[in-house]
Structure 1
Amino acid sequence: MPPFPAPVKEWHNDTYASIDPSRPELSAKGKKIVITGGGYGIGRGTAIAFAEAGAAGIAILGRKEAPLQETKEFIENKHNIPVSTHVADVTDESAIKKAAKEIGEWHVLDMNAGYFAAPAETMEISADEWWKPFEINIKGSFITAQAFLPNRGKDATLIGVSTGAVNLPAAMLIRTSSYASSKYGLLKVMEILAAEFPDVHVVTIHPGVVETNMLEKSEMAEQLPIDTPELPAHFAVWISSPEAAFVRGKFVSCNWDVDELKKAAKKITETDSLFTTSLVYSPELLA
């Protein structure tokens, strides 16, 4: 039984065969991959996963050079795939535009960089600190998309990273209102980008609950089922493949079993209100 609201019966906390990046169907051969927040945690794992999938090259962005360089050396030594590093904060428009120019054409852009404000109730947090997740999670993603989209290659994939918290009751989110609200807002931004750029496979994912600095900061680690870093990393490879074409413009969790999702592909594609922010109304609701 899934621990959180889910449309599937099987819930994963670890990677599994269907999203294994070594599957020929998920090959990233010939693709240039770009990952923000690529030096740490999930971003680092995702870079490694795309290397395992045979990417032609990987570009990783982050605020600190050291972790980017470590990730670069690890991938190049193990997989013999070129990795470029770009020190840039996603809220720094000029730095992101510079990185986009240096990187050039790309095929997968994973906007992984994010921020979690310290847990606090409304009267315990400053307005500036409460607003910071919006600056990074929404504005930073917009800046990144705006800078990189002009250089997209054929059949490009744009991945937004949200959170499963958007599905939880408000009463459970009182101390994390800024993070949850910013990530919900990102869902709408990504849906609109999907409508505006019909040639791009735009999708938003929940990357699971992985032991990272952000999770530690959330003070929720002991209350949540922990996922392996490989789960969201391998899921990102799958979501960028032709197998996942049916979730374009949607929000999906890395915990959801992809084989169950594929069986419902037609319904997911044809139902606008499924896995989106759509608020569906009809007179029957109040009958």
Structure 2
Amino acid sequence: MSQEIDIDPNAYTLPFSLTKTIRRDPYPAILPSNPSNSQAGKIILITGGGTGIGSSAARVWAHASALGIIILGRRIEPLEETALQIRAINAETKVLVIKTDVSIDDEVKHVFQQTHKVFGRGPDVVLLCAAVLEPSRLVHEMGADEWWGYMAINSKGVYSCIHHYINTQSNPAHPTGTIVVMNSASTSILDIQHPANGIGKLSAQRLVEFVDASYPTLRIFSLLPGLVATPSQQPQNLPYARDDPAMSGMLTLYLSQARADYLRGSTMSVNWDVEELEQFQKEIREKNLLKLSWIPILPIGGGKGLAM
């Protein structure tokens, strides 16, 4: 006779919690129906827009009255299905579907050129969801070319999208707009079975900080989606994967507003309550609380070295 095992659904969420309130479902402050989150007149471009979090985000932006939604992905069928769902939600939202492999730089360049051609301008917001999780393997079990192939999507693809978004603007030295890079809490642990995912995501997180420091007129954020029961989710995580996939899209509604400027260049999580965060925005901004630090014991990182 099988016996059910009680689990704490927040077991893998609590270690990454920041606010007292843990959010795993949509709440009023981030809903697309909240008038403050309206995206009327705005255009968003979403990589990985045919499935999972990217597809959910596209639907969220349709509910928020977006002027245009561009969705990219390697498979045309799920992109077209998502496009149908967007049109069913909001017939006034213009949808552009482009089959794209973000690891191929020329294809990414074409996307931004095509966006300007169709809409007459670039997107206001770029949401980078395209990612891949390699099979569980140690370093000696995966050749360099295969490893680099995963890195090409998780790291190079992010760089390529940011690069061409900036370079198709009228003044690339002073770009504007908002970029949200979907990341993963796996960057915080040594998951030895997935070295390409961990390293690729960590490099993307650091890239967000570099771009933020380089372009004061451009808004950029790193966003953790929580644990979502997507097809790519690891089986052992499924009992804990209870975060609503739409929350990432809803958080981009928040991040696209000036009220979120205290998080620029930082990492944000869907599990953190935005209204609680705002109470600490001065401290978050001035102390860089949500940015990476390197070997904090060293003086350059604010440490005092080893006690002698």
Same fold by TM-score greater than 0.5: yes
Contact kept? 2:102, 2:160, Cα under 8 Å: yes
* Paired letter, 2:223: I
Q: Which residue of 2 aligns with 1:120?
A: 137
- Written as runs of structure 1 = structure 2, the 5 A alignment for 1:38-53 is 38-53=49-64
Q: Which residue of 2 aligns with 1:75?
A: 86
- Distance (Å, rounded) in 1 between the aligned partners of 2:186 and 2:227: 11
Query: Quick one: which of 224, 249, 259 aligns to 2:275?
Result: 259
Q: Which residue of 2 aligns with 1:97?
A: 109
Deviation at 1:152, TM superposition (A): 4.9
* Paired letter, 1:278: S
- Distance (Å, rounded) in 1 between the aligned partners of 2:241 and 2:19: 17
Query: Quick one: which of 257, 278, 286 aligns to 2:293?
Result: 278
Deviation at 1:145, TM superposition (A): 1.1
Contact kept? 1:106, 1:151, Cα under 8 Å: no
Q: Deviations over 1:91-142 (max 9, x none)?
A: 1111111111110221000011011111122233333333333110110111
- Distance (Å, rounded) in 2 between the aligned partners of 1:152 and 1:48: 26
Equivalent residues, number: 281
Contact kept? 1:106, 1:152, Cα under 8 Å: no
- Distance (Å, rounded) in 1 between the aligned partners of 2:60 and 2:248: 10
* Paired letter, 1:276: K
Contact kept? 2:62, 2:89, Cα under 8 Å: no
Query: Quick one: which of 223, 230, 235 aligns to 2:246?
Result: 230
- Distance (Å, rounded) in 1 between the aligned partners of 2:262 and 2:17: 17
Q: Deviations over 1:60-104 (max 9, x none)?
A: 111111111111111112211110000110011111111111102
**DSSP-derived class of the 1:106 partner:** coil
Deviation at 1:7, TM superposition (A): 2.2
* Paired letter, 1:101: Q
Query: Quick one: which of 13, 18, 26 aligns to 1:7?
Result: 18
* Paired letter, 1:92: I
Contact kept? 2:205, 2:222, Cα under 8 Å: yes
Residues 152/262 of structure 1: CA separation in 2 closer, same or farther (3 Å cut): farther
Q: Which residue of 1 aligns with 2:224?
A: 206
**DSSP-derived class of the 1:276 partner:** coil
- Distance (Å, rounded) in 2 between the aligned partners of 1:12 and 1:120: 33
TM-score normalised over the length of structure 1: 0.91
**DSSP-derived class of the 1:4 partner:** helix
Structure 2, gaps ≥5 residues long? 1-9, 117-121
Structure 1, gaps ≥5 residues long? none
1:243 aligns with 2:297: no
Deviation at 1:285, TM superposition (A): 4.9
Residues 285/253 of structure 1: CA separation in 2 closer, same or farther (3 Å cut): farther
Query: Quick one: which of 131, 134, 157 aligns to 2:148?
Result: 131
**DSSP-derived class of the 2:160 partner:** helix
Q: Which residue of 2 aligns with 1:148?
A: 165
Residues 13/257 of structure 1: CA separation in 2 closer, same or farther (3 Å cut): same
* Paired letter, 2:306: L
Q: Deviations over 1:9-40 (max 9, x none)?
A: 22221111111112121221111110011011
Which structure has the larger Rg over C-alpha atoms?
A: 2
- Distance (Å, rounded) in 2 between the aligned partners of 1:102 and 1:260: 40
Residues 116/266 of structure 1: CA separation in 2 closer, same or farther (3 Å cut): same
Q: Deviations over 1:143-193 (max 9, x none)?
A: 11111223459851011111011223x2xx121222111101111111111
TM-score normalised over the length of structure 2: 0.86
Q: Which residue of 2 aligns with 1:88?
A: 100
Greater than 4 Å deviation, 4+ residue runs: 152-155
